[in-house]
């Protein structure tokens, strides 16, 4: 962290501004950010000075801080408690005062006030680093791995079990439950806000069709990759000898017909109570289209949807700062249960899954270049650090608010389109889970000595492609759908239990692949609709 400080008063104000410009330039702030910092400093300093007993003798301290790439200005001064930001809700007929209010209101998200040790403290955020969150997530991930390894070597099995049950699992459960409490309302209002922001129902159908086409086309290539890896790995007879019996229940198979029929809920509350994302998706599309068709009659309803969308986004924003801590807890828990010696028999599978990720990213990169008709370099440079979040959390739904923010702020995708494309596309972009399950099914079919001819491969590919759309976007859900895919491959569904032990290790990479597929589909649809801000996209 870099900190530079200076005293500030009316007498040396011009000198401080020059000092501020030089230091912000040294810290690589842009000219626009420097100007914003100067304007906000001037307005807040003047307000603090006017509230002082003797404004002309008023003096404070200014500090410039750079931490994790973020740059902020901290203005502090001793005196009676006074928050100049409270006045932003006031009205005035004075033109100069109204102009000052406008500046502060336009940048209210960059301003904060607190009272500390007898001082009024104003914080002004000048620059937000694009890599800060990724660095924090990576720090949490590394911390969790180290802590897990240390605890495993220091504590006995009984103490580890007690520590996990009383500390790690409750923390993880509380956070995930809080996220899942908000995910369904977030998806519902995000999709509705995205739809009502479009001009008419024809736009909705056109964009939905393009999103579906892009997603399915990419997913088909990813499944072909999974099939190639499965055929390449071939038979692994050693793992069939590790079949477990007794304590683990056999996963329930999923009927594609039942799932399609079940998309329509029998009441409006059930989808939210059960976090059934397909039903939430259906309801959001249904009511969103109705609102879009209602025109001016539904103006107040659309305003309410927009408010609730922002409200749920803000609610998610309260939880997001805790994400690095939860990542550390999750990785600690995983390391406590990872026996590296037991992974030898699964080495080929683990290696194939980790090899599939760069190949999936290569498929995405090619689509961005050919379909998006832009250089894929900015896309790859920005998305790889972001994928540390879904990699750590293993829950694409929980990451959805940050994913939408990433699409808007880093890739330049239109906000309304993002609100529509990311929640809707989440169900059709299983580019991590789909290839993984197909690969395992083919490996087990070959291991069982069953024939793998072209007729089987074609029919199995089509059936698996359709079934991939049923994958729930929650941790561990792949095991449930895997039973259905194994059944399609003619493999006993009980063999799913062979992969329960390594599933948490591979779930993180599958989730990252799913999120990467969803982001790329949203980006490609935005490019086809000319809804990408090229300046934001090309900005480093």
Round to whole Å and give the CA distance between 213 and 206. Answer: 11
Q: What are phi and psi of 5, to 5 degrees?
A: -130, 165
- Bigger pLDDT: 477 vs 465: 465
Answer yes or no: is pLDDT of 359 > 80: yes
Answer yes or no: is pLDDT of 404 > 70: yes
Round to whole Å and give the CA distance between 424 and 436. Answer: 22
DSSP class of 413 = B
CATH number, domain of 160, equals 1.10.3860.10
Answer yes or no: is pLDDT of 252 > 50: no
Name the burial class of residue 194, with classes exposed (0-12), middle (13-18) and buried (19+) by CB atoms within 10 angstroms of its CB.
buried
DSSP class of 295 = G
Round to whole Å and give the CA distance between 360 and 43. Answer: 50
Q: 354 with 378, same domain?
A: yes
Q: What is the pLDDT of residue 274?
A: 74
What tens digit of pLDDT does each residue of 409-428 get? 889 898 878 887 887 777 67
Question: Which helix H or strand E contains 126, and what residues bound it?
Answer: strand 119-127
Give yes or no for a contact between 522 and 425, defined as CB atoms under 8 angstroms apart.
Answer: yes
Q: Point out the domain boundary residue: 80, 97, 127.
A: 127
Question: Which helix H or strand E contains 391, and what residues bound it?
Answer: helix 388-393
Answer yes or no: is pLDDT of 525 > 50: yes
In the block, which residue shows the tokens 């003096």? 59
DSSP H helices in 56-198: 95-106, 132-154, 157-163, 169-196
- Bigger pLDDT: 317 vs 82: 82
Q: 421 with 527, same domain?
A: yes
Q: 108 with 243, same domain?
A: no
Round to whole Å and give the CA distance between 295 and 312. Answer: 25
> Residues 178-197: what's their mean pLDDT?
73
- 501 in a domain, yes or no? yes
- Bigger pLDDT: 228 vs 470: 228
> Residues 223-233: what's their mean pLDDT?
89
Q: Point out the domain boundary residue: 100, 127, 154.
A: 127
Name the burial class of residue 466, with classes exposed (0-12), middle (13-18) and buried (19+) by CB atoms within 10 angstroms of its CB.
exposed
Q: 181 with 73, same domain?
A: no
Q: 288 with 327, same domain?
A: yes
> Residues 311-339: what's their mean pLDDT?
75
Q: What is the pLDDT of residue 519?
A: 92
DSSP class of 250 = P
CA nearest to 103, candidates 61, 30, 44: 44
Q: 165 with 72, same domain?
A: no
Q: 102 with 142, same domain?
A: no
Question: Which helix H or strand E contains 526, and what residues bound it?
Answer: helix 503-528
Q: What is the pLDDT of residue 325?
A: 83
C-alpha torsion 293→187→125→319, nearest 10: 150
DSSP class of 122 = E
The total number of structural domains that make up the chain: 2
In the block, which residue shows the tokens 């569904």? 493
- 203 in a domain, yes or no? no
Q: 47 with 7, same domain?
A: yes
Give yes or no for a contact between 419 and 191, defined as CB atoms under 8 angstroms apart.
Answer: yes
Round to whole Å and give the CA distance between 306 and 453. Answer: 53
- 342 in a domain, yes or no? yes
Answer yes or no: is pLDDT of 366 > 90: yes
Q: What is the pLDDT of residue 26?
A: 86
Q: 114 with 168, same domain?
A: no
Answer yes or no: is pLDDT of 133 > 50: yes
Q: What are phi and psi of 244, to 5 degrees?
A: -100, 150
Q: 29 with 167, same domain?
A: no
Give yes or no for a contact between 441 and 491, defined as CB atoms under 8 angstroms apart.
Answer: yes
Taking each helix axis as running N to C, give the angle between helix 400-409 and helix 503-528, from 0 to 180 degrees, rounded to the nearest 10: 40
Q: What is the pLDDT of residue 251?
A: 44
Query: In whole numbers, what is the pLDDT of the chain averaged over residues?
Result: 78
- Bigger pLDDT: 499 vs 240: 499
Tokens encoding 461: 């590919």
Give yes or no for a contact between 270 and 465, defined as CB atoms under 8 angstroms apart.
Answer: no
- 210 in a domain, yes or no? no
Round to whole Å and give the CA distance between 431 and 517. Answer: 6
Q: Point out the domain boundary residue: 102, 127, 152.
A: 127
Lowest-confidence pick of 234-238, 285-289, 334-338: 334-338
In the chain, % of residues over pLDDT 90: 7
Answer yes or no: is pLDDT of 248 > 60: no
Round to whole Å and give the CA distance between 274 and 252. Answer: 17
- 213 in a domain, yes or no? no
- Bigger pLDDT: 329 vs 179: 329
| N-to-C CA span, the chain | 22
Round to whole Å and give the CA distance between 372 and 521. Answer: 10
Round to whole Å and give the CA distance between 234 and 348. Answer: 10
Answer yes or no: is pLDDT of 306 > 60: yes
Give me the domain span that covers residue 406: 132-198+218-538
Tokens encoding 171: 């923390």
CATH number, domain of 19, equals 3.30.565.10
- 206 in a domain, yes or no? no
Q: 74 with 162, same domain?
A: no
Count helices and strands in the chain by DSSP H and E runs? 23, 5
Where does the pLDDT of residue 245 fall: very low under 50, low under 70, confident under 90, or very high at 90 and above?
Answer: very low
Q: 412 with 290, same domain?
A: yes
- 82 in a domain, yes or no? yes
- 205 in a domain, yes or no? no
Q: What is the pLDDT of residue 468?
A: 75
The β-bridge partners of 115 are 120
């Amino acid at each position: 962290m870099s900190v530079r400080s200076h005293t500030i008063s009316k007498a040396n104000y011009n000198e401080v501004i020059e000092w501020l410009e030089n230091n912000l330039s040294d810290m690589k702030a842009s000219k626009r950010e420097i100007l914003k910092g100067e304007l906000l400093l001037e307005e807040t300093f003047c307000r603090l000075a006017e509230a002082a007993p003797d404004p002309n003798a008023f003096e404070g301290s200014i500090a410039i801080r750079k931490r994790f790439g973020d740059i902020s200005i901290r203005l502090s001064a001793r005196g009676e408690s006074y928050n100049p930001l409270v006045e932003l809700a006031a009205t005035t007929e004075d033109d100069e005062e109204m102009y000052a209010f406008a500046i502060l209101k336009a940048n209210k998200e960059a301003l904060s006030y607190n009272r500390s040790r007898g001082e009024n403290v104003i914080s002004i955020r000048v620059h937000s680093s694009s890599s800060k969150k990724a660095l924090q997530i990576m720090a949490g991930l590394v911390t969790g791995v180290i802590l897990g390894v240390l605890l495993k070597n220091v504590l006995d099995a009984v103490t580890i079990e007690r520590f996990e049950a009383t500390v790690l699992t409750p923390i993880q459960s509380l956070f995930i439950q809080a996220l899942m409490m908000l995910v369904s309302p977030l998806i519902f209002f995000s999709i509705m806000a995205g739809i009502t922001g479009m001009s008419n129902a024809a736009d909705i159908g056109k964009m939905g069709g393009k999103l579906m086409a892009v997603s399915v086309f990419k997913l088909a290539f990813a499944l072909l990759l999974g099939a190639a890896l499965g055929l390449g790995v071939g038979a692994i007879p050693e793992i069939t000898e590790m079949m477990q019996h007794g304590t683990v229940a056999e996963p329930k198979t999923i009927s594609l017909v039942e799932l399609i029929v079940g998309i329509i809920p029998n009441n409006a509350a059930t989808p939210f109570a059960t976090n059934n994302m397909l039903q939430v998706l259906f309801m959001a599309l249904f009511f969103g289209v109705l609102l879009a068709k209602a025109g001016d009659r539904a103006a107040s309803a659309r305003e309410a949807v927009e408010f609730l969308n922002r409200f749920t986004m803000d609610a998610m924003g309260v939880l997001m700062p805790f994400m690095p801590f939860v990542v550390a807890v999750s990785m600690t828990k995983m390391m406590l249960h990872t026996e590296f010696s037991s992974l030898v028999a699964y080495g080929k599978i683990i290696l194939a899954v980790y090899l599939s990720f760069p190949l999936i990213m290569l498929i995405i990169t090619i689509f961005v270049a050919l379909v998006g008709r832009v250089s894929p370099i900015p896309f790859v440079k920005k998305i790889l650090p972001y994928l540390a979040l879904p990699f750590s959390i293993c829950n694409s739904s929980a990451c959805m608010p940050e994913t939408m923010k990433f699409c808007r702020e880093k890739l330049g995708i239109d906000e309304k389109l993002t609100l529509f494309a990311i929640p809707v596309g989440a169900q059709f972009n299983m580019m991590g889970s789909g290839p993984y399950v197909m690969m395992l099914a083919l490996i087990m079919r070959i291991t069982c000595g069953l024939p793998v001819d072209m007729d089987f491969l074609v029919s199995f590919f089509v059936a698996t492609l359709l079934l991939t759309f049923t994958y729930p976007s929650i941790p561990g859900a792949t095991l449930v759908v895997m039973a259905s895919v194994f059944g399609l491959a003619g493999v006993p569904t009980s063999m799913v239990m062979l992969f329960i032990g390594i599933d948490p290790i591979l779930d993180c990479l599958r989730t990252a692949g799913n999120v990467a597929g969803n982001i790329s589909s949203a980006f490609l649809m935005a490019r086809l609709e000319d809804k990408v801000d090229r300046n934001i996209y090309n900005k480093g």
